[in-house]
Amino acid sequence: MKRLDALLFGPEAPRRLAIVHAGLVAALCVRVVAGPYREIAATTPDGLFRPPWFLAFLDSMPPVGVVMAAQVVAVVATVAWFARRCPRAAFVTLWCCYLFVAAIRDARGKILHNDVLALLVTIPFLAAPIADLADRRPSTRTGWPLRAGCSIIALAYFFAGYHKVVRSGLEWITSDNVRHAIAWGPKPAVGRWEGLADLVTAHWLPGRIMAAGTIAFELGFLAFAFVPRLRPVLAAVATTLHIATTLLFGLDYAMWIVVLWLFALPWERYAFVDRFVRSPNARVGDGTVGFRADHVGALEE
């Protein structure tokens, strides 16, 4: 229990929390604004509308104007967060906008997981403190959102492999399951690299190697939560896997890759972040007093 407590609630530098929090805010805003949500709302027939439970009160896709309004609100919330104007409320507002547009994408009759990791990882940040970028002193107060996020990422990949084994067993590896999935391609057809798909499916061996490697990697991804030094390596392998999936199936895993690297790297150790340090005694949204880098250095000495 002590090890579990240390895993979930161990101390982290507020500096790292501030960087990861800012990265998540920027990523969510870009996703809401640049995603294909207006096109989806405009082109999805009512008969294909299958909303998640929290949008069950809708009988059809919301009008494009509603989607545009959510995008505008997301931009305003992002600006408010970076300006430290009610940052907690701003982040909650941004997250709700992201949940709404992600639900629109998910409401076309098939469960999608393009945005599920980002939505889950950002849940702890709805209650996370607004950390000072200049504060390097580890604290459990700023550690739990980061530790919880790493645990969510680790479990997301682990259960992806676990359910493959439970539902299909070793046949997911020993059969031509992966080879056939790549050969037939996604339905409906989306952009992918047909030449690479033909090369991979020309023989039975590549598909089975890919299947075995995917299962082993996903089941072993629990190390992301327990071994910080392995996080960049695991993130690099996962990024390669997601890029290959995009090339072979045309599936969008951009948010998974962004989330992985935000939590994988020790951002608090990088010197280039110092240029963004606030001026002395600058106050953040929750009333916390900021520290300059030289103040922190003096405290460390």
Q: How high is the mean pLDDT of the chain? A: 86
Q: How confident is the model at residue 189 (pLDDT cuts 50, 70, 90)?
A: low
All residues at 6 or more sequence positions from 166 whose CB lies less than 8 Å from its CB, including other chains? none
Q: What tokens appear for 32 in the block?
A: 């809401």
Q: How confident is the model at residue 183 (pLDDT cuts 50, 70, 90)?
A: confident
- Write the DSSP string, 100-124: HHHHHHH-SSS---SSHHHHHHTTG
Residue whose token pair is 């579990």: 4
Q: How confident is the model at residue 158 (pLDDT cuts 50, 70, 90)?
A: very high
Of 276, 268, 270, 273, the closest CA to residue 82 belongs to 276
Region of poorest pLDDT, from 70-74, 245-249, 277-281: 277-281
- pLDDT for residue 110 is more than 80: no
CA distance 238 to 37: 26
CA distance 58 to 79: 30
**What string of H, E and C letters represents the secondary structure of 40-90?**
HHHHCCHHHCCCCHHHCCCCCCCCHHHHHHHHHHHHHHHHHHHCCCCHHHH
pLDDT in the model for residue 275: 67
pLDDT digits (tens, 9 = 90+) for 14-61: 999 999 999 999 999 999 999 989 999 999 888 888 888 888 888 899
Please give the average per-residue pLDDT across 217-228, as a whole number. Answer: 93
pLDDT digits (tens, 9 = 90+) for 212-222: 999 999 999 99
**For the chain, domain boundaries:** 12-138, 153-269
Of 79, 104, 99, the closest CA to residue 90 belongs to 79
pLDDT in the model for residue 265: 93
Burial environment of residue 127 by CB neighbours within 10 A (0 to 12, 13 to 18, 19 or more): exposed
- pLDDT for residue 288 is more than 70: no
Q: Which residues pair with 139 in a beta bridge?
A: 12
Note the pTM of the prediction, 2 decimals: 0.85
Q: How confident is the model at residue 281 (pLDDT cuts 50, 70, 90)?
A: very low
Q: What tokens appear for 58 in the block?
A: 């809708």
